[in-house]
Amino acid sequence: MSSLLNLANKIDVLPRRIGMAGGWLILPLIVIIMFDVVTRKIDFLRIGMSELSWYWLIEPIKLQDMEWHLHGVLLLLSFGFGYLVNAHVRVDIFREKLTARSQAKVELWGLLIFAVPYLLTVLYYAWIFVHASYVQGEGSESLTGIPVRWIVKSFTIYGFALALLAVLTTIMRLCAYLWGGPETHRQARDDLQIFAIDDDHEGHQGHSLTEETSHTKPFA
């Protein structure tokens, strides 16, 4: 189980680092949105910039295309990282009342039955989606928009592949947590962030509190 946990840690690096790096796309996205809004709403800026020889690079249609391109890429690259840090939406009505071990079992079966087949299916259709865009030479719906749209669409493949890696990493850690030895169990528990409650931590705190209370003299 320790080798499985080591493999999980190695796979974890890719979706985590790419997700964190992709998060920086929010900065150019903000800049482009602000620039687009300001130059379209202030007349003298809009007129002055329209007379520039390189205006075709920053015309509103291209800027608006770039806005949703960056937004889509940012979202797709964050799927795997978001799952690893438990930043996605959970509706824990029943699961949160279970013990940590039972939560791990629910998570494991949920990933095996639902997440893995779903992600493999999405990846298959994403490949068809991107290939069709490439073959057709798809570009922007606007004549002056950004061409070669298959490039931004290809991030559907990268994004869901990273999500699949994050899921596989979690499956390995769940197996180590459920069936590994004490040290492997502890290491896997430290790396997993899927729990609604922390039985191990609460148990440790409770044990420490009991010891502290037992050594405290009663007030006379």
Rounded to whole angstroms, the Cα distance separating 34 from 148 reads 25
- 126 domain-assigned: yes
pLDDT at 95 over 70: yes
pLDDT band at 39 (very low <50, low <70, confident <90, very high): confident
Residue range(s) defining the domain that contains residue 165:
2-197
- 168 domain-assigned: yes
Radius of gyration in angstroms for the set of CA atoms belonging to the chain, rounded to a whole number: 25
| Residue (of 83, 136, 128) closest to 110 by Cα position | 83
pLDDT at 205 over 80: no
Q: What is the pTM assigned to this prediction?
A: 0.83
Beta-carbon count within 10 A of 81 CB = 23
- 57 domain-assigned: yes
**DSSP structural state of residue 114:** I
Q: Could you tell me the two tokens for 192? A: 């997993």
**Domain total in the chain:** 1
Q: Give the pLDDT confidence score for residue 2 in this predicted structure.
A: 82
Q: Give the pLDDT confidence score for residue 124 in this predicted structure.
A: 98
Q: Give the list of residues 6+ apart from residue 12 with CB closer than 8 angstroms, or none.
A: 84, 166, 169, 191
pLDDT band at 140 (very low <50, low <70, confident <90, very high): confident
Exposed/middle/buried for residue 103 (C-beta within 10 Å: 0-12, 13-18, 19+): buried
- 208 domain-assigned: no
User: Above pLDDT 90, what percent of the chain?
Assistant: 62
pLDDT at 211 over 60: no
pLDDT band at 198 (very low <50, low <70, confident <90, very high): low
CA distances from 220 to 138, 211, 214, 217 (A): 84, 20, 16, 9
Q: Could you tell me the two tokens for 78? A: 């964050």
Rounded to whole angstroms, the Cα distance separating 92 from 82 reads 17
Q: Give the pLDDT confidence score for residue 31 in this predicted structure.
A: 94
What average pLDDT does the segment 4-33 reach? 95
- 206 domain-assigned: no
Q: Give the pLDDT confidence score for residue 96 in this predicted structure.
A: 84
- 72 domain-assigned: yes
- Higher-confidence position of 1 and 181: 181
Q: Could you tell me the two tokens for 168? A: 């596989």
Tell me the three state secondary structure of residue 109.
helix
Q: Give the pLDDT confidence score for residue 207 in this predicted structure.
A: 39
Determine contact, residues 9/65, Cβ cutoff 8 Å.
no
Determine contact, residues 169/116, Cβ cutoff 8 Å.
no
Q: Give the pLDDT confidence score for residue 9 in this predicted structure.
A: 94
Q: Give the pLDDT confidence score for residue 199 in this predicted structure.
A: 52
For all residues of the chain together, what is the average pLDDT? 86
What average pLDDT does the segment 26-46 reach? 86
Rounded to whole angstroms, the Cα distance separating 63 from 32 reads 7
- 207 domain-assigned: no
pLDDT band at 40 (very low <50, low <70, confident <90, very high): confident
Rounded to whole angstroms, the Cα distance separating 212 from 110 reads 40
Q: Give the pLDDT confidence score for residue 161 in this predicted structure.
A: 98
- 204 domain-assigned: no
CA distances from 84 to 109, 154, 165 (A): 17, 22, 10
Determine contact, residues 11/169, Cβ cutoff 8 Å.
yes
